[in-house]
A = this chain, B = another copy of it.
Amino acid sequence: MEFFQVVTVAEARKILSNHWPRLKRKTVVCELTQALGRELVEDIVAQENVPGFTRSTVDGFAVRSGDTFGASEGAPALLRVIGEVPMGARAELALNPGEAAAVSTGGMLPQGADAVVMLEHTETLPGGWINVLKPVAPKENVMAEGEDVRKGRTVLKAGRRLRPQDLGVLAALGQREVKVWEPWRVGILATGNEIVPVDARPGPGQVRDINSYTLWGLIRSCGAEPKLYGIVPDDLACLREKLSEALEENQVVLLSGGSSVGTRDLTLDLLHHWAQDGVLFHGVSIRPGKPTLAAIVNDKIVFGLPGHPVSSMISFELFVGPLLKYGCYRDPEEEPAVEATLVRSLSSDAGREDYVRVRLERGEDGGLVAVPLPGKSGLISTMVQADGFIRIPLEKAGLEAGSRVKVKLFT
């Protein structure tokens, strides 16, 4: 019988958010490309201006903008072309009034020039002259020195998870190496006397370990470093030994399964005696995923995840994944989702969040529809068929067929 007090998703997340900053990681200096997806240890402050000189953003002619004022197709401004700016070198030319210099995109503006006329707005005349058919304002078609990044500015803040464009700006600043946090290490222990390894042939009453592999994939997809610790039988000494080993080498340990009464009781016994803050919570008001458990041991977090494969994944997505990926929980509104029309009504008990697997299809009118895939939470095949899931919040008693829903896609 389940005697534990269930908490809401919000309560569980609040507890975990408070504990998360206690976890410790090492830092590492790595080559720029290897820093993708890693988090910065320190602020990055620009040591120089980018670009280091004023350059053209188009192909055309560098001019003194004043020379083009009032120019039109009917009354073009006539300018003398005194040369061409070489790419990748100083523009040695200097423009006097009435003069222009050919310049390519990215080329340096010559002295005296303050704007660039696009090639399309000029007419080349014989003898080194051009007609400018349209006026340019000062600084038009020009990127000024330091306009992209100004020296002294904080370009990226500590904690930032580096995206492709962040690598780009670091490259612009000449930062060939960068100091980042090591990825979170997450150990996975499968529990249960009925579980056998993937390469075993299950005997009567036995099933192969599914959750270690789905969890491995989920952890990896969050940019963290998973490690499999195999299967622990229902034995207190074994569990204690394996869990100690996993806690030694990781910041987070997932105890998968232990859905049977025996394993669950063992796990609870062990954690209640071991965890310095006791068990943080045991049981969350969600379906599936209710028997989720968390505890702090040696400033590390142990999650007890449900044994049913669907529950295990949903529980991970709700509680573990966001911390690994963002270090916090995001509002559902901020989670990218696909909008679709629900084809069937769904009911839910008030006071419980429901997560429903759905497949996306095209409806009769060609629009996207979400087809719920009900089914026992023990069926991994329903997750394989699903494209994502929808959430029925705590306060809702269900969702009507025909309503627009947000589907969070599996990655």
Contact = CB atoms under 8 A, between A and B. Distances in A.
A74 interface: no
A172 interface: yes
A165 B383 contact: yes
A403 interface: no
The 7 A-B pairs of least Cβ separation, nearest first, read A164-B217, A90-B204, A336-B336, A104-B260, A168-B214, A165-B383, A88-B194
B194 A107 contact: yes
A292 interface: no
Interface of A: 1-2, 32-33, 36, 50-53, 55, 57, 59, 85-91, 104-108, 119-120, 143, 147-149, 155-156, 162-176, 192-196, 198-218, 220-221, 226, 228, 234, 259-262, 307-309, 313, 333-339, 360, 367-368, 376-381, 383-384, 386, 408-411
Given A33-B226, A57-B308, A171-B208, 17 more contacts: A1-B120, A36-B216, A36-B221, A88-B192, A88-B196, A105-B261, A106-B194, A106-B307, A148-B379, A148-B380, A149-B380, A164-B410, A168-B380, A172-B380, A174-B199, A174-B208, A176-B199
Contacts of A194: 87-88, 106-107
A218 to B, nearest CB: 5
Contacts of A368: 333-334
A148 B313 CA distance: 16
Contact of A87 (B163, B193, B202): B193
A221 B260 contact: no
A209 B88 CA distance: 12
A107 B32 contact: no
Nearest to A214: B168
Given A147-B379, A259-B105, A170 B213 contact: yes
B384 A155 contact: yes
B164 A52 contact: no
Contacts of A57: 308, 376-378
A89 B216 CA distance: 27
B338 A90 contact: no
